[in-house]
A and B are shown apart, each in its own frame.
Chain A
Amino acid sequence: QEQLVQSGAEVKKPGASVQLSCEASGYTFTTYHIHWVRQAPGQGLEWMGVINPSGGSPIYARKFQGRVTMTSDTSTNKVYIQLSSLRSEDTAVYFCARLGFDYWGQGTLVSVSS
């Protein structure tokens, strides 16, 4: 069955970068765009952007433009998100979700603390 499996939790210091992965299985990887969504502790969902695994330019939410990079690797069925210049406000659970938001990864906790 369709599944998105994300990489493990990360602890980073302010100013650092983090890269998370999301591995798709159970369907043709290149068929569906993948969204990234984050959720700060006790807060709501925040859309970060979307990538077409087949190629083309990702679309990033205005808030994250200049600080986020999304990539894909069709050889491993993985998409990646890199967030740079981390600050404490970036502490959140990061989710990947398939186009239509019908399947979600389990989430990856990123903690940013000095």
Chain B
Amino acid sequence: SSELTQDPAVSVALGQTVRITCRGDNLRTYYASWYQQKPGQAPVLVMFGENNRPSGIPDRFSGSTSGNTASLTITGAQAEDEADYYCNSRDSSVDHLYWVFGGGTKVTVL
């Protein structure tokens, strides 16, 4: 399957830890990347590769992969982390030419 599956929504108390997951057969071959999107804005890359943060992304964001599941963990969630989060990866089916996004997870910081 070329799909990536994310839970639609998750909530976390301010300062606590939340893990967002992304599942799909593609992830047995390719790492997921993660994007944060706030209302009315373009997505922002927050994690790529095995566990790599672009410059400017706080170190409270971390990534991991196990089998067909990639995870983005926010340790000590802040109010500004409230956003939609999307994963994506290259599609491992057929000829590996395509890309696919997960459906997104809305993170609410309480």
Contact = CB atoms under 8 A, between A and B. Distances in A.
Interface residues of B, number: 19
Nearest to B87: A45
A101 interface: yes
Nearest to A48: B99
A100 B48 contact: yes
A44 B84 CA distance: 9
Interface in A32-75: 35, 37, 44-47, 50, 59, 61-62
A104 interface: yes
B105 to A, nearest CB: 10
Contacts of B54: 102
Given A101-B33, A104-B42, A105-B42, A44 B101 contact: yes
Nearest to B2: A62
5 smallest beta-carbon distances between A and B, as pairs: A104-B42, A45-B101, A44-B104, A47-B99, A44-B103
Given A45-B37, A61-B98, 15 more contacts: A44-B86, A44-B101, A45-B43, A45-B88, A45-B101, A47-B98, A62-B98, A95-B43, A100-B48, A101-B43, A102-B45, A102-B48, A104-B44, A105-B42, A106-B42
Interface of B: 33, 35, 37, 42-45, 48, 54, 86, 88, 97-104
Interface of A: 35, 37, 44-47, 50, 59, 61-62, 95, 97, 100-102, 104-107
28 contacts: A35-B99, A37-B101, A44-B101, A44-B102, A44-B104, A45-B35, A45-B88, A45-B104, A47-B88, A47-B99, A47-B101, A50-B99, A59-B98, A95-B42, A97-B43, A100-B33, A100-B45, A100-B48, A101-B33, A101-B35, A101-B43, A101-B45, A101-B88, A102-B45, A102-B48, A102-B54, A104-B43, A104-B44
